[in-house]
A and B are shown apart, each in its own frame.
Chain A
Amino acid sequence: MNNSVGNTARLIGAGLRALLVLTLICGVIYPLAVTGIAQALFNDKANGSEIKDESGNVVGSSLIGQTYDLPKKDPNDAEEAARPDLKWFQPRPSNGLGANSVNTQYSLILSGATNKAADNPDLVQLVTEAKDAVIADNSTATYEVKAQDVPADAVTSSGSGLDPNISPQYAELQIHRVAERNELDVKQVAELVADHTTGRTLGFMGEPRVNVLELNAALKALTKS
């Protein structure tokens, strides 16, 4: 009996020592070495691909989507629905984003999706309302948006809620509105969208897309000039 207790203790001891050594290798040396190399070779990317405006202020990360809403009427009202600032290109909906529920000394964004199923009545309602809003917001006196022109990404929330991109179709659909609100020529804005459209990587990987933050930053520069 004593012998088997001793054997077990020896075995557990070996397990613990193995774990500690491997923790040192895989949990300390490895991440530090990778961080060192990453910071030296890809400093900008390793720190979040931040982009700055002309005055040098950071306006966000090119990888992380933002909202372009009007200021709230009552800043303290958490329930107040956000109203898009139609001067700017609008991103995809992000109904799955959350705010942190623990460690509340911070105000962190919780990435995430709605997780709602296709037959969930809430999702059907969200999509229907989003579609109506996209049609209403983007139709101008001279340009009418039809229901079949609205692409799926314009009315659905992404997986992360932080999707930095929209489809080229959704960007094109917003051109007339953006031009009107900024008193710019439609052609100028269309060129801007074309310049900021990224095709598939090597022609076949992923989907064509437009980075909303980069597009809006370029739009801002254009309106200022």
Chain B
Amino acid sequence: MSPVLAGVLQLLALIAALALAYRPLGDHMARVYSSEKHYKPEKWIYKAIGANPSAEMRWPAYLRGVLAFSAVSVLFLYALQRAQGILPGSLGFSAIDPDQAFNTAASFVANTNWQSYYGEQAMGHVVQTGGLAVQNFVSAAVGMAVAVALVRGFARSRTGELGNFWADLVRGTVRILLPIAVIGAIILVACGAIQNFAGIHEVGQFMGGAQQWNGGAVASQEVIKELGTNGGGYFNANSAHPFENPTPFSNLFEIFLILVIPFALTRTFGRMVGSLRQGYAILATMATIWLGFTALMMWTEFTHHGPAFDVAGGAMEGKETRFGVGASAIFSVATTLTSTGAVNSFHSSYTGLGGGIQLLGMQLGEIAPGGVGSGLYGMLVMAIIAVFIAGLMVGRTPEYLGKKIGTREIKFAACYILITPALVLCFTAAAMALPTPPHSMLNSGAHGFSEVLYAYTSGANNNGSAFAGLNADTQWYNSTIGIAMLLGRFLPMVFVLALAGSLAEQKPVPETAGTLRTDKPLYTGLLVGTILIVTGLTYFPALALGPLAEGLAS
């Protein structure tokens, strides 16, 4: 069997697995966020928090909950890293420097998992397991909570109430993420991922002597890193490391974990707004872009244009033998079209066009299917922009799911889509213009520019993958990427929740013959077009200087 055919079959197997999980998981999540019932252990948790989980919140209250929880999380994670030198169970590792500790705390709370540190030499068991892995759960649960609040905004009328943040946070964690993580972690261990709390120990070698290895709760962290679309590896090599991703099966399973919640949330959305077809239209949009990108990526990696690959006879630099080109390409698209950023192969060594596909995937705003929660709310904002554009064309007040898209709504949506590009382009321009930041580039020319553009794109879009040639462990990059990650995560949430509040207050408008049908293929086509045009217009000049220049030159 040729590697290309094997790659296509792996993609088909992945699609089949996602299709099987779509209905049960999507319906389960809809029940979780709609149920009135609180389980006994959850009641204990609410008691400990001191919150009434049945109290409805309007959007400002919901937002305050999100921000308070996240602010405390940043401070806690920062303090934990700064105290590592005196924490027991930390392998004797020293404390993390202030700028790197800030960067890492911001990164994990913002569901980005950009890493300017080397996991195996810097982070002990307590910080990895009790700090970083915890944020992998809760930052994902926060993303889902905000998405569900927006869905409630569409589903509810003549109220401003969006649900209870604490209940959504706790339920997302214990009823959705935790059960899948337990099963997934055991599956990964069965494949060969390690799961222990060993200290640094010596392992004998074939040629004599010994290597030093650190153990760790790797499988339990790996599974939530993918499931919560976080992406921060236990080891520097991330999911290319054989202890994180040991076999071709574990690789496909990890890609499945990355994509399963973001895709299934469209079913949850359809259920909650009372029209499964609306959910399918969003799903079709996401799937079209994802499949298109995956096909393009496989094509460019298998044809491998580039001087070094011409000599080598294949684009295997930075790729593992057990995965090969096909499974690496599928992983890399899944990770950049969601907000994951885990890598099983190193993006900097992809072909010029391959790097461009990864960049564009993130620049779409990670909505196909996007991060857990953030993908759905990002896509729904684009859906509003699309009906607005359609409304302009025919001269009607646009409406979506029975809600009028008026001045207020479109302002919030416009602010949402402007924030991330503004952060990416301003910080990239500043880094290129200032004297010292460009010194961090490993490669020169167009690829060097791509490294910097990639870093801020990855940070502001909360992806976390890297064109790792860039030495990002400097005060400049630690600080600016840290700020980009926080603003890129929480400012959009402000506008999403404001939008949700505004929608929930409206009374529904009845559907008429002139209403644009948003559950038809025509609308899906319009939405795909809108996404590509809005992103293309925003980033084309920057992409032309980086990956396009590199791809066309070789």
A binds B: yes
Measured CB to CB, the residues of A under 8 A from B are 8, 11-23, 25-28, 30-31, 33-35, 37-39, 41-42, 45-50, 57-61, 63-69, 85, 88, 92, 96, 98, 100-103, 105-120, 123-124, 126-128, 131, 148, 150-153, 155-167, 200-207, 209, 213, 216-217
A204 touches B317 (CB 8 A): no
State in angstroms the CA–CA spacing of A57 and B186 once bound together: 28
Chain B residues within an 8 Å CB radius of A124 = 307-308, 311
Contact assessment for B248 and A113 in the assembled complex, using a CB-CB cutoff below 8 Å: no
State which of B121, B138, B237, B251 has its C-beta within 8 Å of the C-beta of A162. Answer: B237
Q: Are B186 and A34 in contact (CB under 8 A)?
A: yes
Determine whether the beta carbon of A164 is less than 8 Å from that of B242: yes
The residue in chain A whose Cβ has the minimal distance to the Cβ of B118 is: A110
Cα distance A50–B204 when bound, in Å? 9
8 A-B pairs (CB sep. < 8 Å): A17-B49, A47-B194, A47-B196, A50-B203, A103-B94, A206-B322, A207-B327, A216-B206
Given known contacts A41-B189, A163-B321, what 10 new A-B pairs fall within 8 Å (CB)? Answer: A17-B49, A22-B138, A27-B129, A105-B92, A114-B349, A131-B312, A159-B343, A160-B240, A204-B9, A209-B322
From known contacts A19-B69, A207-B321, infer whether A118 and B213 are also in contact, taking CB-CB under 8 Å.
no
The interface residues of chain B lying within 8 Å CB-to-CB of A203 are 1
| Nearest chain A CB to B506 CB, angstrom units | 28
A165: which of B94, B198, B321, B468 is its contact (CB, 8 Å)? B321
Give the one of B196, B311, B321, B351 with max A CB within 10 A. B321
CB B299 to nearest CB in A, in angstroms, measures: 16
Interface residues of B (CB under 8 A from A): 1, 3, 5-6, 9-10, 13, 45, 48-51, 64-65, 68-73, 76, 91-94, 118, 120-122, 129-131, 133-134, 137-138, 166, 169-170, 173-174, 178, 181-182, 185-186, 189-198, 200, 203-207, 211-215, 217, 219-221, 224, 235-237, 240-243, 246-249, 251-252, 304-309, 311-324, 326-327, 343-346, 348-349, 351-352, 355, 442-443, 445, 447, 467-469, 550, 553-554
Contact of B318 among A35, A65, A115, A167 (CB under 8 A): A115
Once the chains bind, are B322 and A110 in contact (CB under 8 Å)? no
Q: Which residue of B lies closest to A92 (CB)?
A: B321
Are B182 and A151 in touch, CB under 8 angstroms?
no
B348 touches A45 (CB 8 A): no
B185 in complex: contacting residue of A38, A162, A207, CB < 8 Å: A38
Q: Which residues of A contact B447 (CB under 8 A)?
A: 117, 119-120
Q: Please state if A38 and B68 are interface contacts (CB–CB under 8 Å).
A: no
Would you call A158 and B51 a contact (CB within 8 A)?
Answer: no
Q: With a CB–CB cut-off of 8 A, which chain A residues contact B173? A: 22, 25-26
With known contacts A42-B189, A118-B315, A157-B318, A48–B203 Cβ distance under 8 A: yes
**Nearest CB in chain B to that of A18: its residue:** B49
Report the nearest B residue to A103, measured CB to CB.
B93
Complex interface: chain B residues within 8 A of A162 (CB): 237, 241-242
**Given the complex, which residues of B lie within 8 Å of A33, measured CB to CB?**
182
CB-nearest residue of chain B relative to A147?
A: B313
A47 contacts B198, C-beta separation under 8 Å: yes
Q: Tell me if A31 and B324 are in contact (CB < 8 A).
A: no
User: If A108-B120, A111-B237, A204-B1 touch, does A159 touch B345 (CB 8 Å cutoff)?
Assistant: yes
Do A217 and B206 touch across chains, with their CB atoms under 8 A apart? yes
Contact assessment for B248 and A118 in the assembled complex, using a CB-CB cutoff below 8 Å: no
Whether the pair A19, B322 counts as a contact (CB closer than 8 A) is no
A47 to B307, CA, bound (A): 41
Contact A119 B319 (CB under 8 A): no
Do B212 and A107 touch (CB < 8 A)?
A: yes
What residues on B are CB-neighbors of A67 within 8 Å? 207
Closest chain A CB from B474 CB (angstroms):
14
What residues on B are CB-neighbors of A45 within 8 Å? Answer: 189-194
> Which residues of chain B have C-beta atoms less than 8 A from A110's C-beta?
118, 120-121, 236
A127 to chain B: which residues have CB within 8 Å? 308, 311-312, 317
Q: Give the residue of A13, A19, A64, A207 whose beta carbon is less than 8 angstroms from that of B323.
A: A207
> Measured between C-beta atoms, what is the minimum distance from A88 to chain B in Å?
8
Inter-chain contact A30/B64, CB cutoff 8 Å: no
Residue of B nearest to A65 (CB): B242
Pick the contact of A205: B10, B307, B317 (CB < 8 A): B10
Give B318's nearest chain A residue, CB to CB. A113
Q: How far is the CB of A17 from chain B (nearest CB, A)?
A: 5
CA distance in complex: A103, B94 (Å): 7
B195 touches A109 (CB 8 A): no
Q: Is the CB of B469 within 8 A of A41?
A: no
Q: Is the CB of A59 within 8 A of B323?
A: no
A201 to B10, CA, bound (A): 11
Closest chain A residue to B444, Cβ basis = A120
Q: Closest residue to B450 on the A side, CB-wise?
A: A117
Interface pair A31/B192, CB less than 8 Å apart: no
B residues near A114, Cβ cutoff 8 Å? 317-318, 346, 349
Our pick among B134, B204, B308 for the contact of A59 (Cβ within 8 Å) is B204
Q: Would A39 and B196 count as touching, CB distance under 8 A?
A: yes
**Contact at A159–B320, with CB atoms within 8 Å?**
yes
Given A17-B48, A102-B94, A203-B1, A85 and B207 contact (CB-CB distance below 8 Å): yes
Given A102-B94, A116-B317, residue A111 in contact with residue B235 (CB < 8 A): yes
Residues on A with beta carbons closer than 8 Å to the beta carbon of B194: 45-48
| Closest Cβ–Cβ distance, residue B416 to chain A (whole Å) | 24
Considering the chains assembled together, what is the distance between the CA atoms of A68 and B69 in angstroms?
A: 51
Shortest Cβ gap from A10 to chain B (Å): 8
